[in-house]
Amino acid sequence: MRDGKDDPASSLSRNSAATIDRILAGAEAEFGTKGLDGAKIEDIAHVAGISKQLIYHYFSGKDALYGEMLARIARRNYEKLIAPDYDAFPPLDALRAFFETLFDAYQADPFSATVTVDQGLHAGAQVRYNRGVERLRETLHAQLSRVLERGQASGEVVAELDVTTLHFLAVVVATGCVSLRPMFLRYTGQDPQGALSDDSRWRTSISNFFLRAVRA
């Protein structure tokens, strides 16, 4: 900074970061609603309030944009997941805290759940290695591994459960329950005001279901 003015390079960097953030937010909205196949770059540009050409300035194409959006969602969710002090809880309480933190993250941002399900339909083809995401995942898995070790040593957690399987099953249950609930209510003709429409009861029921699956 000179004479109270921002350095031009710093200002440009901030502007670029803000633009990319707008693009990624627009991508989440469009991909979360329409999926990879249905979303269009021009619609993402419209939501972001920028030109289509500017998106191509930062991203080589739709796949690259989708992959960066997935990394953004992963970073955001991992930061929430590593926040609890799992070592301070008894094993089953720690696993409940992990699952409910994951469920809450998807419930608060349903687009991230539908995008995760959508990427499953494409066999993870747009997932790109991201060192920042990998570090967060390693931190989470280290935390959960200690919980599993304590739970299996005490006989509270099933012996054959490993941390990768635990993480995978939790994501499958949480994303499926968040993204498919509206469809299931319509498909089964259940009362929209019934048990499945109550977020708190739904969260408790799914959490109990998950805990029964991992309890020895």
Q: Rounded to the nearest 5°, which phi and psi values hold at 215? A: -75, 140
pLDDT value of position 2: 46
Place of tokens 């009362």: 191
pLDDT value of position 188: 67
pTM: 0.79
Query: What are the tokens at 8?
Result: 């031009």
Q: Where in the chain is the domain with CATH 1.10.357.10?
A: 75-214
Task: Write out pLDDT tens, residues 143-159.
Answer: 999 999 999 999 999 99
Distance of CA 35 to the CA centre of its chain: 15
What is the architecture, at CATH level 2, of domain 1-59?
Orthogonal Bundle (1.10)
> CATH for 75-214, among 1.10.10.10, 1.10.357.10, 2.40.50.140, 3.90.930.12?
1.10.357.10
pLDDT value of position 9: 42
User: Which residue type, as a one-letter code, is found at position 170?
Assistant: A
Residues in the chain, pLDDT under 50: 1-2, 4, 7-12
Q: If you write DSSP's letter for every residue of 92-112 in order, what string do you get? A: HHHHHHHHHHHHHHHHH-HHH
Q: Where in the chain is the domain with CATH 1.10.10.60?
A: 1-59
Q: Buried (b) or exposed (e) across 33-54, using 16+ Cβ within 10 A?
A: eebbeebebebbbebbebeeee
DSSP symbol at 117: H
With residue 143 as reference, give the H or E element that holds it: helix 131-153
Distance CA 184, CA 58 (A): 39
